[in-house]
Structure 1
Amino acid sequence: MNLALWIVTGILAAVLLVSTSKMYVPRERMAAVGRAAEWVMDFSPGALRAIGALEILAAAGLILPAVLDIAPVLVPVTAICVALLFTGAAIMRLRRGERATIAPDLLYLALAVFVAWGRLGPAPLHG
């Protein structure tokens, strides 16, 4: 169970780090990539930077407390926050009528819930 939680945590952290590209790629360029990225036009550049900053903090919060053995309880707390982030992403996609592009957000939401459940229950990190 511990290995599965570490793998899922690593995947989530990687996804969050990759998605921080919204901080430095112009909105217009991101929106031109395809339908799944058109949502960026609904947000100001400042809001996108704020979301990206939260994603960087989330990636760090999923990994560093456990690796450094400093306040490992922050891992499930961060996973809950990541689940809330992806809940917001899914709601935003539903409001925009983008049901075809909601699947990845729901998958990442499920992974975050799995990490939170696993680290709070069957395989807690001890610090």
Structure 2
Amino acid sequence: MNLALWIAAALLAAVALTGGISKTFVPREKLAAAHGGGWTADAGTGFVKTLGVLELLAAAGLLLPAAVGVAPVLVPVTAGAWVLLMVGAMITHGRRGETAFVALNLVYLVLALVVAVGRFGPASF
């Protein structure tokens, strides 16, 4: 169980890192032209960059607290926050009719929910 939760957290951290880097450092206009990034055309630059920074923090929060043994409770808290972020992403993509991205966000949501429940419950640090 512990290994599965580490793998799930690492996968989510990779997703968060990728999304965070792109939203933080790629210009919004370029993101809007990319597949699945059309929503950024309707959002402000500050909002997109803020989401990017939050995703970078999530990438760190899913792994680092447990890896260094400092405040490991932040891992399930971060996973819970990721669940909320994915709900927002699903709503945004759903309004745009992007069902493939809604399904992908649902997969990320379930993975984060598994990490949150697992780390708060039977496999807590």
TM-score normalized with structure 2 length = 0.94
Q: How does 1:66-85 map to 2 (within 5 A)?
A: 66-85=66-85
Deviations 1:31-70 (A, max 9, x none): 2222x22111111111111001111111111111101111
Task: Give me the CA root mean square deviation.
Answer: 1.0
Aligned to 1:99: 99
Is the CA contact (8 Å cut-off) linking 2:90 and 2:101 kept in structure 1?
A: no
**1:21-36 correspondence runs (5 A):** 21-34=22-35, 36=36
AA aligned to 2:32 is A
5+ long unaligned stretches in structure 1: none
Q: Can you give the 5+ residue segments of structure 2 that lack an aligned partner in the other structure?
A: none
1:40 correspondence with 2:40: yes
User: Deviating runs (4+, > 4 A) in structure 1?
Assistant: none
Q: CA deviation at 1:118?
A: 0.6
Distance 1:117 1:47 in 2: 29
User: Following superposition of structure 1 onto structure 2, how do residues 10-21 of structure 1 map, counting pairs within 5 Å?
Assistant: 10-20=10-20, 21=22
TM-score w.r.t. length of structure 1:
0.92
Q: Percent identity over the alignment?
A: 54
